[in-house]
Chains A and B, each alone.
Chain A
């Protein structure tokens, strides 16, 4: 579904991302982990054609993302709060996204009604603008908006950050269902190793822009990751 070839991104001559080859099949739940500056958000931004690759490209369902816009109808994402429109209510925002993705009001309402639990009664019908919601509630609205219009690829940057524990657990269930039952390709990044191993079938570790691990998730993965990052922290301490 998503094929990355010879991709690199450099700012002022400094390479921040360098991926030789990465292939993510359809319906896979894919997790990206790495410390700050590892290149997770850079990769997602490249995937969404928000920044220009220095070399190489990403192909999404056989469409080269920085050459054509045809990937947009089946790809959706929530990267950060800047994806929200502050002066709309959550409902209006959902309908707006729905409009852009060819969904009428009724379609959107049906979808949203499935997330009543997830919203925990704090989003819908509150007559509040998105800008007045708490960070966590903003995130919930953004994530659900990314599910509108039956996308085949969903990209979420740090979806668990800022969420309360209950919502984190619910979100994990939602993401698992998407990949397993609906065949959606889900890409997430996270600092929380436990959540990623819970949700993702496959985990890639980025470090300073390079892919250094590509793991199939199994019961031992979490331990392996924890050891890796603990050593990494130790190594950087030594460098200092």
Chain B
């Protein structure tokens, strides 16, 4: 039935799958974070339901909103925005599957197989299945509404192809951004350019894509165009990955000249100064941490997505959310990986003459400084109303007093090693969906507290609640940090053990 080569390929792929299965389930991370995995599954289910709802409901929504127009044409008119949003979201949430290739390179496995396997696997990502839950029901509804199957089916297949195009396009952009200092810049430029082209009517992307799809629906032969684009994207990904698949790229270390900055100002912090210097170097000298620091800009400007629109200016509970998010952006991103940032040399730290409390306090002060700086830089938000500034202030205090301690405490449950030095191919060392999940309670709780009090009592009381909680945390800081230190000491052996595992 199969030729010899095909059988070989299939066995190879079976091996790969079993390797990954083992890697996943045998890692200490899996065993320690079942709760997190369950949470992820719930989120996935939630989105599936949302998309199903969208798929079945969209036709009615369109008919209601645009009763004069053809629903199919209207839907296609929105596709451009779908594509742009999908692309942008994937950039932050979806990463190319990671595979440790070095051990495979010396074995008799064709590079062709490895690359195609990784790319093929990426096509099976949840992000590609999710849109199907909207696309397929929507197509069914359209056909039920009297549209010809010969029109809708080609459209449906084109949509699936577009989803895959987005999938591979995202990896191309990520490959570019992995080499840049400002890792999210290529994405912003790309999406920005698309939107700008459309907005200034240089290239009317909205109608171009909409009309294109309608044309394909009418003349299915045009489906060859998206297929060609998909093949080109795939081919380009193949080229990028294959180039990375040589041992030199992981063996030959790019030697970077050290740029050292004068960090003597940290000396005023006394006994925690050595750790602060270390943390600052950690952030500045590793790609992953550096791009995280760069993301601060996004955190800072986050309010601009909302405040310019009068709609949000009336939703006062949003002030607390945006306040916590924008002043706590660094806190959440940096804090949740304490102490995993130091996992590479954790054994050394533990055998050194250090006081755990100093080590944690250094991280704490760094986070607090970031909150203060972000708050100060965010003062111009007062332009949108003084209430916003006050809410941001209260949120900043809440971040300092409550979230900082919560996230440090949470760190003691950290069991996943971060490999800062990793240069292996396929590893863009990015952040996945999980990272954002952890931040949710940190933002939702203050937002809920603020929102409910604001609704029941009033704005002043809502501000007061955040302030009181924050100040309580600050007053209790000494006690809390003792408690947290104890927690870290208690899980010392477990952390050392987990951090010395590779996955």
A72-90 interface with B by 8 A CB criterion: 72-73, 75-77, 79, 82-89
Contact of B285 among A82, A87, A101, A102 (CB under 8 A): A87
Contact of B352 among A79, A100, A131 (CB under 8 A): A100
Q: Taking the complex as formed, is A92 at the interface, i.e. its CB lies under 8 A from any CB of chain B?
A: yes
Q: Which stretch of B148-156, B215-223, B275-283, B376-384 is in the interface?
A: B275-283
**Complex: how many Å from CA A121 to CA B285?**
24
For residue B352, which residues in chain A have a CB less than 8 angstroms away from its CB?
A: 72, 97, 100-101
For residue A92, which residues in chain B have a CB less than 8 angstroms away from its CB?
A: 260, 281
User: Are A128 and B258 also in contact (CB < 8 A) when A86-B420, A97-B352 are?
Assistant: yes
Q: Taking the complex as formed, is A50 at the interface, i.e. its CB lies under 8 A from any CB of chain B?
A: yes
**Complex: how many Å from CA A77 to CA B345?**
13
Establish whether residues A82 and B353, one from each chain, have CB atoms under 8 Å apart when the complex forms. Answer: no
**Complex: how many Å from CA A182 to CA B292?**
47
Q: Taking the complex as formed, is B500 at the interface, i.e. its CB lies under 8 A from any CB of chain A?
A: yes
Shortest distance between the CB of A90 and any CB in chain B (Å): 10
Q: Taking the complex as formed, is B255 at the interface, i.e. its CB lies under 8 A from any CB of chain A?
A: yes
**Complex: how many Å from CA A48 to CA B286?**
29
Establish whether residues B281 and A87, one from each chain, have CB atoms under 8 Å apart when the complex forms. Answer: yes
Establish whether residues A101 and B353, one from each chain, have CB atoms under 8 Å apart when the complex forms. Answer: yes
Select from chain B the residue with minimum beta-carbon distance to A73. Answer: B353
For residue A132, which residues in chain B have a CB less than 8 angstroms away from its CB?
A: 253, 255-256
Shortest distance between the CB of B502 and any CB in chain A (Å): 11
B283-337 interface with A by 8 A CB criterion: 285-286
Establish whether residues A131 and B253, one from each chain, have CB atoms under 8 Å apart when the complex forms. Answer: yes
Q: Taking the complex as formed, is B410 at the interface, i.e. its CB lies under 8 A from any CB of chain A?
A: no
Shortest distance between the CB of A217 and any CB in chain B (Å): 28
User: Are A83 and B281 also in contact (CB < 8 A) when A72-B352, A100-B354, A128-B258 are?
Assistant: no
User: Are A96 and B345 also in contact (CB < 8 A) when A87-B281, A87-B420, A127-B258 are?
Assistant: no
Chain A 37-62 against B: per-residue CB contact (8 Å), 1 yes, 0 no? 00000000000111110000000000
Q: Taking the complex as formed, is A119 at the interface, i.e. its CB lies under 8 A from any CB of chain B?
A: no
**Complex: how many Å from CA A150 to CA B455?**
64
Establish whether residues A85 and B421, one from each chain, have CB atoms under 8 Å apart when the complex forms. Answer: no
Q: Taking the complex as formed, is B344 at the interface, i.e. its CB lies under 8 A from any CB of chain A?
A: yes
Q: Taking the complex as formed, is A129 at the interface, i.e. its CB lies under 8 A from any CB of chain B?
A: yes
B26-72 interface with A by 8 A CB criterion: none
For residue B255, which residues in chain A have a CB less than 8 angstroms away from its CB?
A: 128, 132
Establish whether residues B286 and A87, one from each chain, have CB atoms under 8 Å apart when the complex forms. Answer: yes
Establish whether residues A82 and B278, one from each chain, have CB atoms under 8 Å apart when the complex forms. Answer: no
**Complex: how many Å from CA A49 to CA B354?**
14
Q: Taking the complex as formed, is B347 at the interface, i.e. its CB lies under 8 A from any CB of chain A?
A: yes
Establish whether residues A89 and B347, one from each chain, have CB atoms under 8 Å apart when the complex forms. Answer: no
Chain B: number of interface residues, binned into ranges:
20 to 34
Establish whether residues A51 and B278, one from each chain, have CB atoms under 8 Å apart when the complex forms. Answer: no
Establish whether residues A51 and B497, one from each chain, have CB atoms under 8 Å apart when the complex forms. Answer: yes
**Complex: how many Å from CA A131 to CA B351?**
21
For residue B351, which residues in chain A have a CB less than 8 angstroms away from its CB?
A: 48-50, 72, 75-77, 79, 83
For residue A72, which residues in chain B have a CB less than 8 angstroms away from its CB?
A: 351-354
Q: Taking the complex as formed, is B496 at the interface, i.e. its CB lies under 8 A from any CB of chain A?
A: yes
Shortest distance between the CB of B340 and any CB in chain A (Å): 14
Of A77, A84, A100, A128, chain B has the most CB atoms within 10 Å of the CB of: A100
Establish whether residues A50 and B347, one from each chain, have CB atoms under 8 Å apart when the complex forms. Answer: yes
Establish whether residues A89 and B344, one from each chain, have CB atoms under 8 Å apart when the complex forms. Answer: no
For residue B260, which residues in chain A have a CB less than 8 angstroms away from its CB?
A: 89, 92
Shortest distance between the CB of A209 and any CB in chain B (Å): 19
For residue B286, which residues in chain A have a CB less than 8 angstroms away from its CB?
A: 87
Shortest distance between the CB of A60 and any CB in chain B (Å): 12
Establish whether residues A82 and B347, one from each chain, have CB atoms under 8 Å apart when the complex forms. Answer: yes
**Complex: how many Å from CA A76 to CA B351?**
8
Q: Taking the complex as formed, is B274 at the interface, i.e. its CB lies under 8 A from any CB of chain A?
A: yes
Q: Taking the complex as formed, is A99 at the interface, i.e. its CB lies under 8 A from any CB of chain B?
A: yes
Shortest distance between the CB of A99 and any CB in chain B (Å): 4
**Complex: how many Å from CA A50 to CA B351?**
7
A112-171 interface with B by 8 A CB criterion: 127-129, 131-132, 149
Q: Taking the complex as formed, is B179 at the interface, i.e. its CB lies under 8 A from any CB of chain A?
A: no
Contact of A96 among B253, B274, B420, B497 (CB under 8 A): B274
Q: Taking the complex as formed, is B436 at the interface, i.e. its CB lies under 8 A from any CB of chain A?
A: no
User: Are A86 and B354 also in contact (CB < 8 A) when A50-B496, A51-B496, A96-B278 are?
Assistant: no
Q: Taking the complex as formed, is B248 at the interface, i.e. its CB lies under 8 A from any CB of chain A?
A: no
Shortest distance between the CB of A144 and any CB in chain B (Å): 14
For residue B353, which residues in chain A have a CB less than 8 angstroms away from its CB?
A: 72-73, 100-102, 149
Q: Taking the complex as formed, is B257 at the interface, i.e. its CB lies under 8 A from any CB of chain A?
A: yes
Shortest distance between the CB of A147 and any CB in chain B (Å): 14
For residue B258, which residues in chain A have a CB less than 8 angstroms away from its CB?
A: 89, 127-129
Select from chain B the residue with minimum beta-carbon distance to A86. Answer: B421
Select from chain A the residue with minimum beta-carbon distance to B257. Answer: A127
Q: Taking the complex as formed, is B348 at the interface, i.e. its CB lies under 8 A from any CB of chain A?
A: yes
Establish whether residues A51 and B493, one from each chain, have CB atoms under 8 Å apart when the complex forms. Answer: yes
Select from chain A the residue with minimum beta-carbon distance to B343. Answer: A82
Shortest distance between the CB of A53 and any CB in chain B (Å): 11
For residue A131, which residues in chain B have a CB less than 8 angstroms away from its CB?
A: 253, 421
| 24 CB < 8 A contacts A-B | A48-B347, A48-B350, A49-B351, A50-B493, A72-B352, A72-B354, A82-B344, A82-B346, A82-B348, A83-B348, A83-B351, A85-B278, A85-B348, A86-B420, A88-B278, A88-B281, A96-B274, A96-B277, A99-B274, A100-B354, A127-B257, A128-B258, A132-B256, A149-B353
Binding site for B on A (CB under 8 A): 48-52, 72-73, 75-77, 79, 82-89, 92, 96-97, 99-102, 127-129, 131-132, 149
Known: A85-B345, A132-B256. 13 other contacts (CB 8 A): A48-B350, A50-B347, A51-B493, A72-B351, A82-B346, A82-B348, A85-B278, A86-B420, A87-B282, A96-B274, A127-B257, A128-B255, A131-B421
Identify the 8 closest CB pairs spanning chains A and B, nearest first. A99-B274, A83-B348, A87-B285, A72-B353, A48-B351, A127-B258, A86-B421, A131-B421
